[in-house]
Structure 1
């Protein structure tokens, strides 16, 4: 990728930034521009997403915040998770958490992003994680591939990365080269057994000798209620969030680590490391290498805490109540501190240590029981945040014992 092409891409974003997630003259549910090929969020959704990007992006001015209208990961968030106004925020948050997972594994492998000469985001979708990755790597070192040609085209056009189309059958796909790091987020969590085996071997074969393959799966604990788990350790359901892919080829897959490791041995894959629920607090991660990397024997979870802002209540008298949960992935709960902000103004610190058996059960850790937190404050005056704001951004800064992470939620100001 030439310097001129990179400059033209950045110039495009500078020109269109306001039209996509900036200050637009539109109603809350109206698009900011007609005839746009890009998804335009409503004002509240836009402000929340922008607040998250400003909080976490390495370079806010060059971060690519465009979302394609066919992006199924975004549409799934909009239609199935939380409130519609949080969809973009949840989408970007998911991409950032994927980057944190990758960076942690790469670091334990004795590398840094600056050392990587070739990175493949396989089954990349429309770039939920790639948009964060390109803030760490030169564009000419990043490759993307997906069965959706529009997803690859979108990333090549707007991110400036290399890309090639994938195939349903691994044997029909010609890879342009081998790769030092291959990341496969949430593909193996959808494959039937034969494709799982074929893609695992195919991707292993295009890994550089000193490379790292990172893939995620659903563990059996994520099986839907009432689902009969196959005693083999591999359960495949013919359903998924995809609107177009055949459920024979792309469903929902739930596997045990024993099943995956047994398959790896069958394929001659010796070096494999397992991290339970490492990705998004739900999907299991497998790290595979061709050559033995002794540093990976010490592989541990990344130390970013996990949590959520679950509800915000404001009384007519101006009292505010914010409720959520948080865990330190190394030390459990309670975390060190949870600070509550309205916009950028600190309201106070939450009370920690409330019992959350649901969180304990999800993570399968007794030390996560006291993960609940709650903030109660009085005299919450909306006037200080500006009458023209369509919403107020409430932020919870969760501080673990080694690092911190930002969670956000949007609310409407009280009516006078």
Structure 2
């Protein structure tokens, strides 16, 4: 008789990870086994409202039917060719993504960090081939408190010592200026500057929303100085803030837009560099590539994501429910919340440190069936799937109020 393997408990699975997984994460002690829409379920069958959405990778919720259908359909046909050959899904994906963003060409990659690394290479190549910067002298201006990924080059221009410490020597060629400071940015740009690379909203830093006019100022400054404006919309893009891109709140069009996370629908890693033709045309065969970048499964899912965004439904939902989110958070200011920043369905919430750290609050919310994630100090991030209902959102806010009152 064949024995049936016993399902291990959450506690057992967490203990089993300890000796075999690198300790580069400190997850909340919940073991997710199933998910649908805005809800996840752990091994024991407990349900939780997902208020993080995979750092915006799950903008359309868990297992969105249209995205799952597109993946299944493609799995039955073709998953990978490498870019040694063409595949029948890539052209449509690139055409439609470029049209959605309002730019000309697409460089498909896999992860967000790959998109950022690719943009760094493209910007440097453009600086040498088009701007005439002397070889190996190109610089890129970035903002303090940024988060663009975890590779060696990217942490070279991080100001987070946890991300940097122990990983040097670091890659040169970057100038760091304060975020939201146009004067400092202008002073850092010179004839060697290839690009300014910023997040329109700084996510990891605590959902830091810049002053009105900052993004328009970056666009004016980079145009006047003759360098590129690269917007990292990997977290902020694809509906999260109530627009397709966060830069649209100031009617700005960068030269290069970086996308990831939600572009893969929570199914496969998909990222892209979307740019003006003049910029991406500096790449020639053999100069850059990715075995999995632009694979047919990714292109099929990515095209289905574009389908959802073309309707405008998710952008509208984020804008409308963002009003509910802001209202609920405003009512908690002075009652456990000391401040918050929000745009669309994305918020950084600063909790009174006397009530606990962000980790403490996240664990208390988890015990109440709400999943969020802390960032620096006593700040938590809220970024639910754009499919969340008003009732679900209000329920999460009421639970946050309950946790704060209990902790007072």
| Pair in the same fold by TM > 0.5 | no
Normalising by structure 2, report the TM-score: 0.33
Work out which structure has the larger RCO, using CA pairs closer than 8 Å and 6 or more positions apart in sequence: 2
Normalising by structure 1, report the TM-score: 0.32
Higher strand proportion: 1
